[in-house]
Amino acid sequence: MEYIVRILSTKPVTHNVKRFRVEKPSDYTFTPGQATDVAINKPEWKKELRPFTFTCLPGDPYLEFTIKRYPDRKGVTNELHQLKEGDELILHDVWGAIEYKGPGCFIAGGAGITPFLAILRNLKAMNKLEGNMLFFSNQTQADIICEAELKDMLGENAMFVLSKENRPGYIFGRIDKDFLHIHLNNLQQEFYICGPDAMVLDIMEQLTALGAKAEGLVFEK
């Protein structure tokens, strides 16, 4: 099913990420972590669907997406970042396999943080953040989406890993087997993983090799 909605507001989040708030259809519901396919309501873009995760709460009176721009591709994200209040998007049905199953470790790479934003914000609203931690990998500090908010929610349980910038207060390197071995003390907890496909597959292999249970790995299938 298609839903045509107007953009209510846009706001920069980082140098290449924007927050879009749009109208919420009356019969539209989702679970934190889920996504939908989005298109721009212009003749030349209507058939160009891309998946984006909701970053608002289910009870909010609007829908929100936090979208990274890839200007070199000259595609949908680049065009989305040119849109203004009043422009229209086409939403489709809700889908997604990432959902909260209990306290655990969230592992994200870049824009892969978006399903976790909705989950963590929802847990905060219910006062149920305790027992969760986050490993968030980016190239530089400037790339980190919602860094201050994540620190506020998780405190010392939010660890930020930078692969191309060595800065005090951040971990320099990558989320690999050595990193996981050092920073994990419970392999029987839930693991929520989202990011580039190669990163997700690699981390799942590393976690399994370290002894994590396969049924405890939550990712987008």
Task: Please write the tens of the pLDDT for every residue from 186-212.
Answer: 999 999 999 999 999 999 999 999 999
Q: What is the mean pLDDT of residues 122-148?
A: 98
Whose tokens are 């989305």? That residue is 80
- Mean pLDDT calculated for residue range 28-46: 97
What distance in Å separates the CA atoms of residue 114 and residue 105, rounded to the nearest whole number? 15
Mean pLDDT of 94-107: 95
Torsion of Cα atoms, 37 then 42 then 47 then 52, to 10°: -20
Strands 133-138 and 62-68, by their bridges, are: unpaired
Mean pLDDT computed over 75-92? 97
| Residue 73 confidence (pLDDT) above 80 | no
The per-residue pLDDT for 13 is 98
Predicted pLDDT at 72: 75
Residue 27, CA atoms < 13 Å, CB-side half-sphere? 6
Query: What is the predicted pLDDT for the residue at 69?
Result: 95
Q: How much is the average pLDDT of 142-160? A: 98
221: pLDDT strictly greater than 80: no
| 217 has pLDDT over 80 | yes
Residue 97: its pLDDT value, please?
84
| Mean predicted confidence (pLDDT) in 82-102 | 96
User: What residues contact residue 176 under an 8 Å CB cut-off, 6+ apart?
Assistant: 202, 206
Distance CA 220, CA 192 (A): 9
Range 121-141 average pLDDT? 98
Calculate mean pLDDT across residues 66-95. 94
Model pTM score: 0.95
Mean pLDDT of 8-32: 97
| Confidence check: pLDDT of 71 > 90 | no
